[in-house]
Amino acid sequence: MRVLILPDARAGGRAVADIVARVVQEAGSAGERPVLGLATGSSPLPAYRELIRRHRTEGLSFAGVEAYLLDEYVGLPAAHPQAYRQVIRRELTDALDIDPSAVHGPDGTHPDPATAAAEYERALTKAGPVAVQLLGIGTNGHIGFNEPGSSLRSPTRVTTLTERTRSDNARFFRSLAAVPRRVITQGLETICRAEHLVLIAAGAAKADAVAAAVEGPLTASCPASVLQWHPRATVVLDEPAAAGLRHGEHYRYAAALDLG
């Protein structure tokens, strides 16, 4: 696992944008259609702003890209501003030259969410592997919407949010009562099929979850710890999010040598 501790979230955004841009450019010059795994939430926003900037000012093109979202609320109308397919359009893809029909997410409006989850798993298997999967982390260590207790081998499925996640996400809704209880999420095994996992975290509220994910045991109690098991995982942190790490000095030293 590569751990990058950067001075602030903007620097983190640039580091993540470098990873994504390289994949997009290399696939583009090989005539391939790269598959990107996108995350919602506030953590990836600096990276998205930087990618939009590079698209506008440096000609970075997303024309052939296929994008797959991690997760979706069950039961929100498709046009709801917090439906993740709306969020990703607003925060990223509407500002890029990506074909809107190439942006995919689980169908949270399907009358049978379990069927929608199984269809999404099949679609991902067919389109994959995802070249880079971006991830945020919940304060309880969740990735996607895989809450503590999620099987490390879970597929895309319907699951139930913890009350902690509902209250963390209530800031995006009118009230806590408006936050859905059920979601469809890529499973931990689904996520781990991506070639490169890139987890982004900023702020002191994430420090405990980051420490558990990076240096704690590999356990379903901290779903993000599954990154320890992945052959290619990068964790991009700002200083406050890295504050709970025991081996922070070594990560800084190793990253400085990589860059040198």
Q: Which residues bind ligand GLP (CB under 6 A)?
A: 39-43, 70-71, 136-138, 144-145, 165, 169
When the beta carbons of 39 and 52 are compared against ligand GLP, the nearer one is 39
CB of 121 to ligand GLP, least distance (A): 17
Antiparallel, parallel or unpaired: β 233-238 and 132-135 = unpaired
CB of 149 to ligand GLP, least distance (A): 15
When the beta carbons of 43 and 109 are compared against ligand GLP, the nearer one is 43
Who's near 209: CB < 8 A, 6+ residues apart?
137, 138, 139, 140, 141, 201, 222, 224
When the beta carbons of 71 and 91 are compared against ligand GLP, the nearer one is 71
CB of 188 to ligand GLP, least distance (A): 13
CB of 146 to ligand GLP, least distance (A): 9
Residue nearest to ligand GLP (CB): 136
Distance CA 143, CA 136 (A): 6
Cα–Cα distance list, 178 to 52, 151, 203 (Å): 31, 28, 26
Task: Let me know: does 25 contact 65? Beta carbons within 8 Å.
Answer: no
When the beta carbons of 150 and 165 are compared against ligand GLP, the nearer one is 165
**The residue to which tokens 């029909």 are assigned:** 101
* Cα torsion through 81, 86, 88, 89, rounded to 10: -120
When the beta carbons of 43 and 156 are compared against ligand GLP, the nearer one is 43
CB of 40 to ligand GLP, least distance (A): 6
Q: Which uninterrupted H or E stretch holds 38?
A: strand 35-38
Task: Let me know: does 90 contact 53? Beta carbons within 8 Å.
Answer: no
Q: Residue 245: how many CB atoms within 10 A of its CB?
A: 20
CB of 118 to ligand GLP, least distance (A): 20
When the beta carbons of 99 and 208 are compared against ligand GLP, the nearer one is 208
